[in-house]
Amino acid sequence: MEIKSYLKRKLIKEKKEKVLIPCLEGHFLEGRCALITGGTSGIGLAIAESFLKNGSDVVISARNTERLVGTKEKLVEVCNCDSSRIEILEIDISRVDDAKKRFFEFSNGFNKNIDIFVNNAGVNGGQVFPDTNEEDYDTILDTNLKGVYFFSQEIAQYMIRRSIKGNVLNIVSSSALRPAISPYIIAKWGERGLTLGMAKKYLPYGIIVNGLAPGSALTPMLFKDTDDNMHLDYSPAKRYVASEEIANLATVLVSDIGKMIVGDIIYATGGAGVLTYDDMSY
């Protein structure tokens, strides 16, 4: 019987249907305004939706204006909110000087103070060590670490100049716990360390910095074309993490509920990465 059960699990593809994730809705972020990088899809989009449903205005940023416009229209419909609560900002954080200039110009003409910053933009790809090429390394590190570092610096300086007490939330990854054998993992190790450094540096200014580290999430980054199958064999939880789950946690972390969580990385991995490192080829 045990052999039959084992063969059945291995030979028949398991399917875990999409689970119902309730969206945390209320007034947790009433009167706040958040800037979310990488806000047009996946986790960034889910966070924008959750923030809007909890009272915050949002600025979604990405590299493509057309996608930003489409995302804004979608959020207005899904959240049943006034379009004035959503602004768009075309920025490529890997182009440091241009990103800083664009944010400076935007913030000077923006009539609200941004008091929540979600560092979500990121890219994946390339080969693992020792087959990584320099071009892939630079592409990933320029966005996932260099861009994150310098754009975070710009946001922190903006908050201090305006005496804004707020939150910075870095979307890290469970990869930050794994042996660093790819550019992506190296970048996430760096972002994990930056989270601690920023938390210590900026807490005296009333700026709370934390990290949120998903495991494998059902997002376009993993090239999933459908969300009707949540099954993930290598995860101890046997499923992907849903973007809505990350969004709910993000809302709690940047709200007054999370004020005493400082410099921490909250892992939402279904056990992948925290219970075992043998879950990914990279």
Q: What CATH number is given to the structural domain containing 145?
A: 3.40.50.720
* 275 in a structural domain: no
* 248 in a structural domain: yes
Structural domain range at position 181: 29-268
* 282 in a structural domain: no
Helix (H, G, I), strand (E, B) or coil at 61: strand
- Please tell me the total count of domains within the chain: 1
> How confident is the model at residue 237, as a pLDDT?
75
- The dihedral over CA atoms of 127, 133, 136, 139, expressed in degrees to the nearest 10, equals 140
* 142 in a structural domain: yes
Task: Output the CA torsion sign for 244, 246, 248, 250.
Answer: negative
> Would you tell me the crossing angle of helices 42-53 and 243-254 to the nearest 10 degrees?
50
* 260 in a structural domain: yes
Mean pLDDT in runs of 10 for the chain (282 residues)? 47 52 78 97 95 97 96 96 96 97 97 97 89 95 97 97 98 89 94 97 98 80 55 77 92 95 93 67 50
* 279 in a structural domain: no
* 17 in a structural domain: no
Tell me the whole-structure pTM to 2 decimals. Answer: 0.87
> How confident is the model at residue 223, as a pLDDT?
47
Residue whose C-alpha is closest to residue 121's, from 99, 144, 138:
144
